[in-house]
Structure 1
Amino acid sequence: MINIIKLTDSGQKSNITNSILRLLPEWFGIEEAIVEYAGGSGNTDFYAAYRLDEPVGFISIKAINIYTSEIYVTAVLKEYQHMGIGKKLLETAQEELINKNVKFLMVKTLGDSHPDEYYMKTRKFYCKMGFYPLEELKEIWGEECPCLIMVKAL
């Protein structure tokens, strides 16, 4: 059984982010990005998915303004993917955002113009969850890593 728990301790949030991202090199293979996400997640709304006492996934949500929040970073361990955990994490976060009258949720991911098979699966997941591509920009992460901004009305 998977339990979703909202965490408030910034050290705990950073530790979970760091440990899970390091086990997913297909998505998170850049050391500087892992360090940035681990540090930044401490200051976000953070929900962790636990199986027994072990975290197996998380979602970190950052407020952009009173109308919009962003999925700062989210991940589920490979052996727990395709079990509905990502969906459950996202739905839990969305419930709280809707209760706060947030209108939009956005996410940045690797764009369609990049052939990465893992991020193709990521984009499929977001589309299935009701997100739509808004714009692909090469100015955010550079020419070699086109950034796709996706958005969902809440």
Structure 2
Amino acid sequence: MIRALVISALLATPAAAGTVAEQAIATFNAVCFKAGQTADQARSRMEARDGTPLPYTLTFWDRSLAPAPQAPSRIERRCEVSFAGDHTEAAIAALRTQMARPPVFGFRIDLPETHAPQTGTALIEGRELLRGRVAVVHVGLREGETFIGVDRLPDGWEDS
């Protein structure tokens, strides 16, 4: 009996711990704010938390580490998850909590010209980061799915 409980505990994954929305939001906050990771590394970290295949859609690239031909020219890095249903309030609450934790995720600034609210946007903010970089966090509803994302703009983005 004890052995069965230990095996069950070892086999349990975070994916079994909550809804897809809860998983996506928690994993976004745990993985998407980490710099210096490739798309494969980000996907592997997410799969380690939530299982394979991911129960949500991941969009990730970092042009400072690998080519991203479909990337907008003035955005250096993007990490976004999307999942079914309207969970924008939960995503915003979790995102705000994450950004307030040390190290605090930048200071709010005017939205850079590279970004604008879309139909369905519930939150979009520009954030000043270290070394001249800027981030934009974005939460909204698109075609019946919640999306939560963060884009990083490089130092000198205004000049590119």
Q: TM-score, normalised by structure 2?
A: 0.30
Higher Rg of the two aligned structures: 2
Scaled by the length of structure 1, the TM-score of the pair is 0.31
Q: With a CA cutoff of 8 Å and minimum separation of 6, indicate the structure with the bigger relative contact order.
A: 2
